Structure 1
Amino acid sequence: MDADFDLLQELTEARGVPGYEDRIRTIVKRELEDHVDEIRTDSMGNVVATVEGSENPDYEVAIAAHMDEIGFMVKHVTDEGFLQMDTLGGWDARVLRAQRVTVHTPEEDLPGIIGSPPPHTMDEEDRESTDEVEDFYVDLGLPADEVEERVSVGDQITMDQDTRMVGDTVTGKSMDDRVCLFQMIEAAKRVDPDVTIHFAATVQEEVGLRGAKALGVDLDPDLAVALDVTVANDIPQISDEADYVTELGDGAAIKLKDGSVITNPKVHRRMRTVAETEDVPYQLEVLPSGGTDTAGFQNTHGAKPVGAISIPLRYMHTVTEAAHEDDVDAAVDLLTAFLDTEDGENDYTL
């Protein structure tokens, strides 16, 4: 990768479920404080780092990438000392079997496992049953009385996985959306904008775009661009190429629509023009379902022009999410070029 792999690794391996993004917030503030004119947080935990425009400072652009990852909250401790979980974000329960996790209490982090009964003891009904999150328990390997003393309802649970290069891809547990948070940080370090840019690291996206909706009111930008991952179903299990959405290695994805938003045509056309002018590889994204912070800004404080740049991602919402290194670099380059060429004079009204 052209960009800083060590920073991407730190961001993706750090833990932060919706509403508890503290560790990510610390990294973001550390990385941006020397590159912006002002940095602040709000009562929800959103981080806003502002670079004042040199030519047209009254025109404001908001760039948003979310800090939170999907995870769980402890909802019950059984008499035997096992933990029952409530979801924070969308999980496919099939990927939870035999995974290592960390339970985060106010005092400490505790290692745990989500066990799976051995096949030797499963009858035919068990083998054919459909997994549900409520069927899984976290085993801390501790006596019940010690678990009761150290863990409480409301403590958070995250998956354990390191981040590494696998071939030309970078894979880890929370590429969604830390790889785009990384993209935003890298662009913030490079831009010299004519207009004012608010680089916003948002909270609670995975549970309903909550941070972006609140931030859209507080900032009231003239233009908003969200950064998130998108589906890359270019894998053997998907036979119809029309269902790929995007493909790894084909460049940054310029979003046309998803389940929550139809982006402003003038915004996404300008993104395409910038990409072609700067020779940045790109592809177009039409995502049938799912939502991003783009929708959080579109009409929160009146109608706003919105756009989105996505990074293609295989195996989304698992612990082995994978992005291509060239797509990451392309997304950083496209965002940087788009911001450096925004002068506040573009007419995005329809």
Structure 2
Amino acid sequence: MAFEFDFDLLRDLTETSGVPGYEDRVREMVRDELGATTDHVRTDAMGNVVGTIEGDSDYSVAVAAHMDEIGFMVKHIDDDGFLKLDALGGWDARVLRAQRVTVHGEEDVTGVFGSVPPHTLDDAEDGEEEVGDRVVDLGRDAEEVEELVSVGDVVTMNQSTIEMGDSVTGKALDDRVCLFAMLEAAREIEDPDATIHFCATVQEEVGIRGATALGVDVDPDLAIALDVTIASDIPGVSEEDHVTALGDGAAIKLKDSSVITTPKVHKRLKSVAEDGGIEHQLEVLPSGGTDTAGFQNTNGAIPVGALSIPTRYLHTVTETANGDDIRATIDLLTAFLESEDGDHDYSL
């Protein structure tokens, strides 16, 4: 299908590397994009980027999406040149077998996660796996590896982003697809009444750290965060465990394990969606946290809401989102921000 958004930008964002604390390459892209669509852009000491559109009123809204992807840091290089890694973010070790990675050392180096051929495994060896058990093979002798890689270098998964039917699949859709939606809204919004801070945050995958700092620095009257959410609408998962479904529209978050969104905010998001004929669904996420929590009570309590893009196979290299859901999220975020003028009462 021909997507109704800038697929090339989405592909570039997802294929670019940026683990928690090392979001530099993504940050440069974000600064360029926001520099063209907002009144001014700044970067703080943690690396969060804020692009601001100045509105006519004193009322301000923060929109947040995180730049970092889950990845690794090299913690040890053994005598044979194999790398042992420490995880940056939540990984299921089972999905790492036979995957390619990029080690960002003196130069970008391709490697693979090694695994023992199944022919040689016995039942005792085929048990539960840990990320720390995995090793990266760079296909080089130890001396050359030592010249190229050091302890502390970061590692990302190596995967392209492609169109797959009505969907997009690749690595780092968590959360680059929502970062993309935020950047598209900043491009499409016209003369908002409220001042809007578009916040590209860091280190979400290791504890919502960037957004927590921004909650103090930006100090908005209202915050809306964007992140992916679970879509387990696949064979073998009962319907009650789907959370969301691909193709049913943007997800309006009611709760996750880090936040209960402000009822008046999520009700108004729903109202804006209904008035605009924008496809949407409601999200009740039993576990997991988002940048929404970073703003809710960091600098005193403020009302918060959240939009999510349903995504299958989270925290793998084949994360998959539906093109229409992405478009619906952009449309709903844009319509909501354009209607924010400070007159909506979110008090309890």
**TM tier, smaller:** over 0.9
SS in 1 for 2:59: strand
> In the alignment, what sits opposite 1:215?
214
Following TM superposition, where does structure 1 have runs of at least 4 consecutive aligned residues deviating by more than 2 angstroms?
A: none
Q: 1:236-268 deviations in whole A, cap 9, x for unaligned?
A: 020x21100000000000000000000000000
One-letter identity of the residue aligned with 1:317: H
Cα deviation, residue 149, structure 1: 2.1
Q: 2:149 aligns with which of 147, 151, 173?
A: 151
One-letter identity of the residue aligned with 2:84: Q
SS in 1 for 2:27: helix
Q: 1:52-102 deviations in whole A, cap 9, x for unaligned?
A: 00x31x111000000000000000000111000000000011100010000
> In the alignment, what sits opposite 1:8?
10
- Mapped to 1, the partners of 2:4 and 2:123 lie a distance apart of 51
- Mapped to 1, the partners of 2:236 and 2:226 lie a distance apart of 27
Structure 1 unaligned segments of length 5 or more: list them.
none
One-letter identity of the residue aligned with 1:299: N
Q: 2:158 aligns with which of 137, 151, 160?
A: 160
> In the alignment, what sits opposite 2:227?
228
How many percent identity over aligned positions? 68
One-letter identity of the residue aligned with 2:308: S
Instruction: Choose 279-288 or 24-33, whichever is displaced more.
Output: 24-33
- Mapped to 2, the partners of 1:198 and 1:124 lie a distance apart of 55
> In the alignment, what sits opposite 1:36?
38
Aligned residues: 345
> In the alignment, what sits opposite 2:93?
93
- Mapped to 1, the partners of 2:255 and 2:136 lie a distance apart of 38
SS in 2 for 1:34: helix
> In the alignment, what sits opposite 2:334?
336
One-letter identity of the residue aligned with 1:79: D
- Mapped to 1, the partners of 2:228 and 2:340 lie a distance apart of 23
- Mapped to 2, the partners of 1:157 and 1:103 lie a distance apart of 5
- Mapped to 1, the partners of 2:173 and 2:81 lie a distance apart of 32
Cα deviation, residue 124, structure 1: 2.2
> In the alignment, what sits opposite 1:121?
120
- Mapped to 2, the partners of 1:124 and 1:5 lie a distance apart of 45
TM-score (norm 1): 0.98
One-letter identity of the residue aligned with 2:299: H
Q: 1:305-327 deviations in whole A, cap 9, x for unaligned?
A: 00000000000000000000000
Cα deviation, residue 2, structure 1: 0.6
> In the alignment, what sits opposite 1:176?
174
- Mapped to 2, the partners of 1:25 and 1:145 lie a distance apart of 33
Q: 2:49 aligns with which of 38, 47, 50?
A: 47
- Mapped to 1, the partners of 2:184 and 2:271 lie a distance apart of 22
Structure 2 unaligned segments of length 5 or more: list them.
none
Q: 1:100-136 deviations in whole A, cap 9, x for unaligned?
A: 000002x310100001111122122113x11111111
- Mapped to 2, the partners of 1:149 and 1:14 lie a distance apart of 24
- Mapped to 2, the partners of 1:218 and 1:279 lie a distance apart of 35
SS in 2 for 1:33: helix
CA RMSD of aligned residues (A): 0.7
> In the alignment, what sits opposite 1:62?
62
